Amino acid sequence: MKNKLIITLATAALGLLGVVAAQAATTIVILNTNVAGVGFNDPTPAAPVGGNPGTTLGQQRLNAFQYAASLWGATITSPATIYIDAAFIPLACTANSGTLGSAGSTFIFVGLTVNPNRLYGSALTDKLEGEDVVPGQPDIQARFNSDLGMNANCLPTSGWYLGLDTKHGTKTDLVTVLLHEFGHGLGFQTFTSGLTGLQRVIGGVSYPSVWDDFIRDNATGLNWVQMTAAQRQASAINTGRLVWTGSGVTAAAPGVLSGAPVLTVSGAAAGTAAGNYDIGRASFGARLSASGVAGDIMPVNPDAPGVEGCAPFSALNRLAVSGNIALISRGSCGFVIKAKNAQDAGAIGVIIQDNAPAAAPPGLGGTDDTITIPTVSVTQAVGIKIRSALAKRSRNKSGVIANLTTDPTRISGLDGGYVQLYSPNPFQSGSSVSHYDITNFPNQLMEPAINGDLTHDLIPPNDMTYTLLKDIGW
């Protein structure tokens, strides 16, 4: 086989500072590439926690990596050993948001025997070709944030949970994040740019990713291989209509997903606004459930047109939303800012009204681990209808009741029978297209944000990560 390849990330020779092999159906080797005294080699004493017997911070981190590798190794099958170049290093972070970690294929290949005109990542290439195509080099590079929870400038209230039992409380479960990022490294991603719609060029020829055969825009009826670059660019922000058509995921979805998100409006003052409405979910805050969160809807009075919720609430707005569900228009600042200000004012939930006509409510991107109330979106038309019913509200009650819940009669996360991919508008680099959509219920491992209710499962009936990888060749 004559493989053409691109080096997509910095690579490292095998056996740098430490090798830990996770023996299973597939052997996955963790290459410790941290220097002495930091990362995996941090000597800070640590008490064993959640089945992790390590007695130093570095050893517990390495044990968590090995455990996540063993879960993946027991799930996938490959005749070739998978090598992961791994390190804990400081990554971008603030007191309220930050990068947890990342992982991806170190090489991209074209010219495989099984499908010579598609791009594949390194680990999947080795599996399909039955050999280690680039001996002596890692297949996946993984970098994770060593600062998380360690100081006031990096999500101080979160921190890594290094146990192996999912009992992470308010901390971020490292094993879950590792399973997610290793999934990307194993092939849960497209190498085609969603931002520009352009395919990768090798030797002067543009090649689609193997992913692109299964990405379909239900509005156009075309998959990404059939589209022009401009069509793919538009498709990547076609919220709710970008789907995965692989037969494995399509068949598994009804047994994994349930309860589509819904806003139910009722109450004595609801009038013509009463009814059930589709809603967009947020990648932050509390997840919706069948039991729901209910309360009076109260609008937030803007400081200026289109900027309501972008600053700490006035006394009048605090009185209005405290104990109620805040209705806020989209615009001028991020969704997390609006939701956090509403929460700080005592709101028990947030509805964000879109600021332009659209067929479907938008997904709400962003990250803030301190937001604990549910936040959803509605279309501009639905928001106008609700606002018309709020005209006779008092200072802190409206008589228009919202219930943010899920509908057990409708499967969440589907469009036209296919599982939706994450396609918010505007495009979110690093998140758009290469994840399941946030409308999934229950939450899936490969959504763009790590949710606190995730298990360490990779297969149905709880998760569809491996199912998608099987669609592309695993």
Could you tell me the domains of the chain?
Answer: 4-186 (no CATH), 200-256+412-471 (no CATH), 260-407 (3.50.30.30)
DSSP result, 138-194: -SEEEEEETTTTTSTTS-TTT-EE--SSS--TTSEEHHHHHHHHHHHHHT-S-SS-T
454: burial class by Cβ within 10 Å (0-12, 13-18, 19+)? buried
Distance CA 457, CA 464 (A): 9
pTM attached to this predicted model: 0.77
User: Which amino acid is located at 165 in the chain?
Assistant: D
Three-class SS state of 298: strand
Q: Which residue has the tokens 């809603």?
A: 279
Task: Provide the residue type at 238 as one letter.
Answer: N
Three-class DSSP category at 94? coil
CB contact at 8 A, 162 and 174: yes
308 neighbors 383 (Cβ within 8 angstroms): no
Burial class (CB in 10 A: 0-12, 13-18, 19+), 97: middle
CA atoms of 403 and 394, how far apart (whole Å): 20
* Beta-strand pair 200-202/205-207: antiparallel
Are 362 and 354 contacting, i.e. CB atoms less than 8 angstroms apart? yes
Shortest CA distance to 104 belongs to which of 130, 128, 84?
84
Residue 464 and residue 455: Cα distance in Å, rounded?
12
**What's residue 15's pLDDT?**
31
- Given a contact cutoff of 8 angstroms between Cβ atoms, the answer to whether 50 and 176 are in contact is no
Burial environment of residue 220 by CB neighbours within 10 A (0 to 12, 13 to 18, 19 or more): middle
Contact yes or no for 417/199 (Cβ under 8 A): no
The answer to whether residues 329 and 306 touch, using CB atoms and an 8 Å cutoff, is yes
Spell out the per-residue pLDDT of the chain, length 474, in tens: 334 454 444 333 333 344 555 545 899 999 999 999 999 999 999 999 999 999 999 999 999 999 999 999 999 999 999 999 999 999 999 988 889 999 999 999 999 999 999 999 999 999 999 999 999 999 999 999 999 999 999 988 889 999 999 998 878 999 999 999 999 999 999 999 999 999 999 999 999 999 999 999 999 999 999 999 999 999 999 999 999 999 999 999 999 998 888 999 999 999 999 999 999 888 789 888 888 999 999 999 886 766 899 999 999 999 999 999 999 999 889 899 999 999 999 999 999 999 999 888 988 877 787 899 999 999 999 999 999 999 888 888 999 999 999 988 889 999 999 999 999 999 999 999 999 998 888 889 999 988 878 999 999 999 999 999 999 999
In angstroms, the CA 194 to CA 406 distance is 30
**Bridge-partner residues for 88, per DSSP?**
144
What are the counts of helices (DSSP H) followed by strands (DSSP E) for the chain?
Answer: 9, 25
278, two tokens? 């589709």
Residues 62 and 160 sit within 8 Å (Cβ to Cβ):
no
User: What DSSP character marks residue 121?
Assistant: E
